[in-house]
Amino acid sequence: MSSVTVTVPATTANIGPGFDCIGAAFSLYNQFQFTKNPEADTDLTITVTGTEAHRIKGDGSNLLYQAFTHLYHHLDKTPPKIAIDIKLGVPLARGLGSSATAIVGGLVAANTLAGQPLSTVEIMELAIDIEGHPDNVVPALLGNCQLSVGEAKDWEICPIPWHPDIIPVVAIPNFELSTEEARSVLPKTLPCGDAIYNIARMGLLIRALESGNGQWLRKAMADKLHQPYRQGLIEGYEFVQECALNAGAYGMVISGAGPTLLALTSHEQIQGVENAMKNAWAQLEITADVRSLAIDTQGVKVEMP
């Protein structure tokens, strides 16, 4: 086999109280085509299309390529000379798992071209090792909403049913927030009362997503672990949240590390919530791409010639 195309969904992580352990795959994608290029003068050629193509590194520091070579080194094999064609659909540094798409895409492509020596579980463990936590890479690989519990080499992955009446709406602003900056504001310790607050809401969140109970969602999406500390890094957070809730959203949270904001709502309120979030940021002279998405149920997709 000399070529493979891998399509990986965007993801959201945390969903309020589920910090670093819960994530869901969305119907927004990056596509990566890998073609062996044994006659090339260089080990790597990268071409990129998409609105942020100019920001993608074209050398060996590219995360997609690093994940690709990581798997070969894990197998004690020499990576082949490779040409990579990237089609970007997931915004960079916006809290929608763009790095997870690169990690999963590189590992799955390498495993395919190497003859599929590793199982899905082994690929997942490598992805978690590279990313540092499971909440984005697991749903990017497996699809759906996933709860990841454990530690290195000892993970339990639990699918969480997502009721079809719950619609995710993402508001992607035209500014970035790095994961490093978002993590830097988090507290080192947490009062016992705040821990109990989050534990209770995490349990309720799982039941609310499964049942579609909007009243439960309204309570379940709050947390005291990360959002109170991060929301100050996102201009207009409180105003956008207020407008989303007034338009009928069950709740609004930070998607991943942000700055994308995620509202969950019903079918009937989709347009109103989209308009409210977009207009709220527009009043602050911030342009935002606001859209409703679906849950991706397949995860990474592999196509071979």
Report angle CA 282, 236, 185 to the nearest 5 degrees: 145
- The reply, when asked if residue 212 is annotated as ligand binding, is no
pLDDT given for residue 51 in this prediction = 85
- The reply, when asked if residue 171 is annotated as ligand binding, is no
Residue with tokens 């086999």: 1
pLDDT given for residue 39 in this prediction = 87
- The reply, when asked if residue 107 is annotated as ligand binding, is no
Q: Is the pTM of this model over 0.85?
A: yes
- The reply, when asked if residue 183 is annotated as ligand binding, is no
Q: What is the pLDDT along the chain (305 residues), one digit of tens a residue?
A: 799 999 999 999 999 999 999 999 999 999 999 999 988 889 999 999 998 999 999 999 999 999 999 999 999 999 999 999 999 999 999 999 999 999 999 999 999 999 999 999 999 999 999 999 899 999 999 999 999 999 877 899 999 999 999 999 999 999 988 888 888 999 999 999 999 999 999 999 999 999 999 999 999 999 999 999 999 999 999 999 999 999 999 999 999 999 999 999 999 999 999 999 999 999 999 999 999 999 999 999 999 98
Domain 167-292 has CATH 3.30.70.890: yes
- The reply, when asked if residue 220 is annotated as ligand binding, is no
The string of DSSP letters for 74-124 reads HTT-PPPPEEEEEE--SPTTSSS-HHHHHHHHHHHHHHHHTT--S-HHHHH
- The reply, when asked if residue 96 is annotated as ligand binding, is yes
DSSP annotation of 295 reads B
Which of these CATH numbers, 3.40.50.2300, 3.30.70.1290, 3.30.230.10, 3.30.360.10, describes 3-160+295-303?
3.30.230.10
User: What are the residue boundaries of the structural domains of the chain, listed by start?
Assistant: 3-160+295-303, 167-292
- The reply, when asked if residue 115 is annotated as ligand binding, is no
- The reply, when asked if residue 126 is annotated as ligand binding, is no
Residues in contact with 14: Cβ distance below 8 Å, sequence separation at least 6, in sequence order = 20, 22, 23, 135, 223, 226, 253, 254, 255, 256
The answer, yes or no, to whether the previous bond of 259 is cis (omega within 30 of 0) is yes
Helix (H, G, I), strand (E, B) or coil at 59: coil
DSSP annotation of 183 reads H
DSSP annotation of 269 reads G
Q: Which of 13, 11, 12, 14 is nearest to 198 (CA)?
A: 14
